[in-house]
Structure 1
Amino acid sequence: MRETLPQVEIGEDERLDLENLATGAFHPVRGFMTREETLSVAQEMRLPSGEVWTIPILLQLQEKPRVGRGDRVVLVYGKEPVALLQVDDAYELDLKALAHQVFGTESEAHPGVRKFLEKGPYALGGRVEVLAWRPRSKDLEKTPAEVQAFFRKRGWRKVVAFQTRNAPHRAHEYLIRLGLELADGVLIHPILGAKKEDDFPTEVILKAYQALKEGFLPPERVALFGLATPMRYAGPKEAVFHALVRKNFGATHFLVGRDHAGVGNFYDPYAAHRIFDQLPPLGIEILRVGAVFHCSFCGGIASEKTCPDHHREGRISISMTKVRSLLREGKVPPAELVRPELLPILREGV
């Protein structure tokens, strides 16, 4: 019967979304969103059911679909049928209005907005049935149920999740160590999906975190798994999305740093902290951390809450943009920015 159904080709982002819908990583979302769900999420940060959700999960199309409510279609990725979609809605998006509601901007200089606009103004919404789930790495790409079982086996009741799209620098390490002080274990959960062009390749990111875990962290208290989803760079709304997804994986706490999921100067650095004050309890505790830097007066890594204001002239800001720039120039980033032991790995990604 599958052979007689209409087919819709999807891209890598949608394939990953399918897997997350199937495994429960995107709970309570159960399918690609209808118009009602999309507008509710974009405008109210809630599904029509009232449950908090902040990022539309969409199946966008360039051309108007020839199917409608009640139809079934086969979703095809790379010529292979990967899922069945029961169409509940076929609709047109007001792309710029929706971009402004989700990303806070319509500017195509924003990488998330640019990709969103390129995917097309039409959408199909409905429940999905995944035909085959093929993780790229059985060791790193785990379902929520598998990660929760891992925590139970380790006896971890209090788990801090650390979201990252980039390779580790000293500030990242500081946040991970903070999590280790507070919990039974830390879940390092880097993004495996598409990122903007000047971010490190996923393979380099994973390799660097593995080296950090094995060489400089207590490996028995650190879990390194990947989250197979693209980065949206949606700032505060993506911070909420990241927290909800990590709750589904079994984390009890979630670290939100300065400019979480931000890009360029599109967001206030602490908008991702404040957005949680607008929402009811999410079932996961949010750990807000301010700017982290190296302070010559303090003699090491410090944060806005631990370093006196009158020592600002001794602060060295830490960013992977700065590290990449130095590496591209053939220079050696100082140890205050990144561990020297990680530099051979990072050079593979520039």
Structure 2
Amino acid sequence: MLHMASNVLETSIAYLYDKECGFLLLYLMLYNCNSFLTLAPSFFSIEIYKHNKEERIARTWGTTARGLPYVEEAITNAGDWLIGGDLEVIEPIKYNDGLDQYRLSPSQLREEFARRNADAVFAFQLRNPVHNGHALLMTDTRRRLLEMGYKNPVLLLHPLGGFTKADDVPLSVRMKQHEKVLEEGVLNPESTVVAIFPSPMHYAGPTEVQWHAKARINAGANFYIVGRDPAGMGHPTEKRDLYDADHGKKVLSMAPGLERLNILPFKVAAYDTKHNKMNFFDPSRKEDFLFISGTKMRSLAKNRESPPDGFMCPGGWKVLVEYYDSLAPPEGSSKLREAVAA
């Protein structure tokens, strides 16, 4: 079923009813892209219903507080009606942004796993650059699967490709950083498939993580790694997290439709100052561990400061520093603006 309100394709919509053909043609123009995707839902299966924004927001996010990133991006100014129907995809989407080779459909992913003779597929979603703590979680998961008797577990590294917050690292930069992680052997290219997950990020916590997990079943995964506060964020108006950090994995353990997916909660990883590397947190020597948040990581890169040795592969860190350098105004530009203003 198509529910245009979901904005999974992040589209603007124009539609035309063709009386002779008897169906509604939806022409979906994608942001940042010159391509069009034509979808043809059966006219008799079309659903049109009122867009109750308040109810939708409350049920999805558990709050109607102002400042929810996806709500402001895609819902607040959306129309008052929703349209749905069974779809036929006439032409695949091409973004022509140099990343289309990573936009693999679920069937293409299943074919790739079969080509690699994978007997287990474990999926890891992220919206941030891969640091060595992430890599530790992924490599340790593969080790655990081998111990369980699997012969060739394959990792699906599945970064989010849709809308993210303005302060998140853009997709093109993240994909370049992920390439360096593979090139430098932090993750094994032979047992890793990197593909873009086209969904936008809703930051809807336990509700959203069910979508993230179920979508990976379609892609052929039978194991899903879930961590602390999946799809979570800080409360937009209060100084606290919006969701309980453990609710996401608890919901996944009981959600309908996930019986075929094995949920793998992972241990917390942090920088071990005693061993100068990312390691699993040990409460018995908590004073030895340093937690480097995404905000802290971005701040270091913006200021051209180096993270602790062993936090991220050098090539991957260089990608981030170069990205933030590209955002900085040229030297002397502030003085020029002051002179013009005077």
* TM-score (ref. length: structure 2): 0.77
RMSD: 2.9
Q: Mapping of 1:233-272 within 5 angstroms? A: 233-264=203-234, 265-272=241-248
| Aligned-partner residue type, residue 287 of structure 1 | L
Q: Assess, with a 3 A threshold, how the Cα gap between structure 1 residues 118 and 271 changes in structure 2: closer, same or farther.
A: farther
* 231, 255, 268: which one aligns with 2:201: 231
Please tell me whether the aligned partners of residues 171 and 318 of structure 1 are also in contact (alpha carbons under 8 angstroms). no
Q: Assess, with a 3 A threshold, how the Cα gap between structure 1 residues 81 and 174 changes in structure 2: closer, same or farther.
A: closer
Indicate the percent of aligned positions where both proteins have the same amino acid: 26
Q: Distance in 2 between matches of 1:334 and 1:156?
A: 35
Deviations 1:181-225 (A, max 9, x none): 134111111112221111111111111111111212221111111
* 27, 34, 38: which one aligns with 1:75: 27
Q: Distance in 2 between matches of 1:173 and 1:93?
A: 42
Q: Assess, with a 3 A threshold, how the Cα gap between structure 1 residues 61 and 320 changes in structure 2: closer, same or farther.
A: closer
- Which ranges in structure 1 are unaligned for 5 or more consecutive residues? 1-29, 39-55
Higher-Rg structure is 2
Secondary structure at the aligned position of 1:128 is classed as coil
Q: Distance in 2 between matches of 1:299 and 1:177?
A: 18
Equivalent residue for 1:186? 155
Secondary structure at the aligned position of 1:100 is classed as helix
The alpha carbon displacement at 1:32 in A equals: 2.2
Q: Mapping of 1:253-292 within 5 angstroms? A: 253-264=223-234, 265-280=241-256, 281-292=258-269
The alpha carbon displacement at 1:233 in A equals: 1.3
Matched, 1:132 2:91: yes
Equivalent residue for 2:40? 84
Secondary structure at the aligned position of 1:164 is classed as coil
Q: Mapping of 1:1-350 within 5 angstroms? A: 30-32=1-3, 72-77=24-29, 80=36, 82-86=38-42, 88-115=46-73, 116-136=75-95, 137-183=99-145, 184-216=153-185, 217-264=187-234, 265-280=241-256, 281-297=258-274, 300-304=277-281, 307=282, 309-350=283-324
* TM-score (ref. length: structure 1): 0.75
Residues paired across the two proteins, number: 295
Q: Distance in 1 between matches of 2:195 and 2:233?
A: 24
The alpha carbon displacement at 1:282 in A equals: 2.9
The alpha carbon displacement at 1:84 in A equals: 2.2
Secondary structure at the aligned position of 1:123 is classed as strand
Please tell me whether the aligned partners of residues 188 and 224 of structure 1 are also in contact (alpha carbons under 8 angstroms). yes
Secondary structure at the aligned position of 1:118 is classed as coil
Q: Distance in 1 between matches of 2:28 and 2:139?
A: 43
Please tell me whether the aligned partners of residues 204 and 231 of structure 2 are also in contact (alpha carbons under 8 angstroms). yes
Q: Distance in 2 between matches of 1:62 and 1:106?
A: 24
Q: Distance in 1 between matches of 2:246 and 2:86?
A: 35
Q: Assess, with a 3 A threshold, how the Cα gap between structure 1 residues 242 and 76 changes in structure 2: closer, same or farther.
A: closer
Please tell me whether the aligned partners of residues 177 and 316 of structure 2 are also in contact (alpha carbons under 8 angstroms). yes
Which 4+ runs in 1 deviate beyond 4 A? 56-63, 78-81
Please tell me whether the aligned partners of residues 259 and 268 of structure 1 are also in contact (alpha carbons under 8 angstroms). yes
